[in-house]
Amino acid sequence: MNILVLTGDDSGSIITNFLYQDGNEVMESRLKYDYRELMKLLAICKIEFIVSYGYRYILPPEVIDRYKTVNLHISYLPWNKGADPNFWSWVDGTPKGVTIHYMDETINTGDIIAQEEMEFEGEWKDLTLYDTCAQLKEKVENLFMNSWDKIKQGNILEKSQKGLLGTFHLKQDIEQYKDCLTDGWNTKIGALLENIDKKNFKEIPKVSYNISNEVENVPEQYRNCKDCVHLYVCITKIAITNSLIDNFVEGSLDRIMETTANGCKHYISMMPYL
């Protein structure tokens, strides 16, 4: 099979070498193409399949429609679509993991081929963003290699993302927290969350609010999980201060609680932050 690997750094070489060892003709590129250049390249090289891994440019819809294209993404979709998924999984307290999905016309919204949640090695507070990103990359690479036979044979039971709640971030969204990255991507997770907590605390108006009474108002269906109750209280407090709730997920408080109840075990990392 003739395969084009589109990548943004040296990580793509791992996938390229694997596909070559599998007996494929593989071309790797980090370049940005306009529509005509890319279509010409695909035709000349007789490309049959495209793999995108860390590629920083959006592919034209015509390419995605014509060629089978998969993307390796270091987030547990539908959470953290878009830019800097590892960073936002910690800041938003959302599930952490990796996903391989077919590409469609919008960013990270295609049908899911395979995905795995992530358990990081080491105490998470002492890990850096660089450390966790490296572990995620290794995991998604292994997931791709283990799934490749089924992918190339088309023996995949895809999972649609339509109707699923999730999060999305643009590249510029991280700018508001750049001052919290005191050591760049080598900032420890614990320090990052502490810095963000201090930053947000300064911006929250002083209010008088009895949190303990709010627990009694938690809907009955959410009382079976102490994490959900705790998070409900925290989010309610934040909503009253009109602060962080817009950065967590769009929608009403009821919708947020429904999301939390459906995946409460993922949200424990959000507690110290809130």
> What is the chain's Cα-based Rg?
21
Residues in the chain, pLDDT under 70: 201-274
Q: What integer pLDDT is reported at residue 157 of this predicted model? A: 87
- pLDDT, one tens digit per residue, over 104-134 is 989 999 999 999 999 898 889 999 999 999 9
From CA 35, how far away is CA 53, in angstroms rounded?
19
Domain boundaries, the chain: 2-153, 204-274
Q: Which residues contact 239 (CB under 8 A, 6 or more apart)?
A: 245, 253
Pairing of strands 49-53, 68-73: parallel
Instruction: Please give the Cα distance from 190 to 177 (Å, whole number).
Output: 14
Task: List the beta strands (DSSP E) in the chain.
Answer: 2-7, 25-29, 49-53, 68-73, 81-82, 97-102, 112-117, 168-169
Distance, CA of 41 to CA of 223 (rounded, Å): 57
CATH 3.40.50.170 assigned to domain 2-153? The reply is: yes
Q: What is the pLDDT at residue 10?
A: 85
d(C-alpha 55, C-alpha 30), whole Å = 7
